[in-house]
Amino acid sequence: MQLKQSLIEEIRGIINSSRAKAIRSVDNERVLMYWQIGKVIFEEEQKGKSRADYGSYLIKSISDEFQPHFGTGFTIRQLEMNRQFYRSFQNTNALRSQFSWTHYRTLIRIDNQDKRAFYIAETDKNNWTARQLERQVNSQLFERLLLSNDVASVLAVAREEKRPMDAKEIIKDPMVLEFLGLKKEAAYYEKDLESAIITHLLDFILELGNGFAFIARQKRFNIEGDEFYVDLVFFNRLLQCFVIIEIKTAKLTHQDIGQLQMYVNYYDRYEKQDFENPTIGILMCTDKNDAVVKITLPENNNTIIASKYQLYLPTEEQLIEEVKKEIKKLDNGEN
């Protein structure tokens, strides 16, 4: 007699679930083992702190003793990471059972405590995989959010101690779209970039930030016989509003801003429910003149955001330059 497909799938689900739990259990034990080894090394090292080279001697001696028997888990580099792991998380209560050792390897490379606290909170809240966490760190998400927010606000939103009230608390400028795999030197039509975003939609939502849900692509609406198409439509559950995105593969113009403002007005008047907040519009562009953006929009604008995008991961030097620009704007009273 042939087994029912439903029975086969149920048993397969049990097997896969058990395997996943076993893997998590093994990795949790490995994390605790590395933490405990790091604690022993750190505490022993402190006893010999009067000798500057004692730490290096200690780690090399442990490696020589255990690596032949236990392999790569006891290389000098691994033991140094164990020590740093304990130094970064000196209380086991700070450890997260859902974080793998790969998560912690990324986190212990972060020296700044506020920055590390931000990534811990975001990973915990969003259940980021180790790959997603590494991507967010490499794209310098924390620093990009600081371009338009202060550290206390960024941490409060990450820890869910504060509900974001302003789109700038979530949306980054610049946006980093390296996951699209497009060459930055090449020319693209807007529809090409849009198609690439749809293909990598989960990665794009990760880059957009918390609370985004995809609604539509090329959303058509009609105004007395004239048809218009919105490139991308999302809803943000934290901001409780529609977020519509227009893509421009050239420098932003005031006409682009006017077009997006019309789309925002349409959504506010015909799509938005009474209990929802005003629609937010994002203009993604390769370049922009912030002064033109500011003079085109009303002085009290908080619904239209112009955000540059780039197809490669930013360097620390690039973000430093962006910070300098923002500081200069503040000094000149531009914001």
* Cβ atoms within 10 Å, residue 168: 18
Q: Is the peptide bond before 68 cis (omega within 30 degrees of 0)?
A: no
Supply the pLDDT for residue 113. Answer: 93
Distance between CA atoms of 25 and 29, rounded to whole angstroms?
Answer: 6
Locate the DSSP E strands across 36-138. Answer: none
Which residue in this structure is represented by tokens 């994390």? 31
Distance between CA atoms of 84 and 42, rounded to whole angstroms?
Answer: 9
| Mode of pairing for the β-strands spanning 304-310 and 280-285 | parallel
Distance between CA atoms of 195 and 32, rounded to whole angstroms?
Answer: 44
Supply the pLDDT for residue 284. Answer: 94
DSSP-assigned beta bridge partners for residue 243: 234, 280
Indicate the burial class of 15 (C-beta count within 10 angstroms; 0-12, 13-18, 19 or more): exposed
Residues whose CB falls within 8 Å of the CB of residue 17, separated by 6 or more in sequence, listed in order: none
Residues whose CB falls within 8 Å of the CB of residue 39, separated by 6 or more in sequence, listed in order: 86
Locate the DSSP E strands across the chain. Answer: 175-176, 212-223, 226-236, 241-247, 280-285, 304-310
Supply the pLDDT for residue 121. Answer: 96
Supply the pLDDT for residue 21. Answer: 78
Q: Are 206 and 241 spatial neighbours (Cβ–Cβ below 8 Å)? A: no
Supply the pLDDT for residue 137. Answer: 95
The list of the chain residues with pLDDT below 70 reads: 1-3, 48-52, 323-335
Residues whose CB falls within 8 Å of the CB of residue 193, separated by 6 or more in sequence, listed in order: 180, 182, 247, 249
Supply the pLDDT for residue 17. Answer: 84
Domains of the chain (ranges plus CATH)? 5-105 (no CATH), 165-331 (3.40.1350.10)
Strand arrangement of the beta sheet that strand 226-236 belongs to: 175-176, 304-310, 280-285, 241-247, 226-236, 212-223
Supply the pLDDT for residue 332. Answer: 61
Full-model pTM? 0.84
Q: Are 100 and 27 spatial neighbours (Cβ–Cβ below 8 Å)? A: yes
CA geometry: angle 222, 227, 229, nearest 5 deg: 100
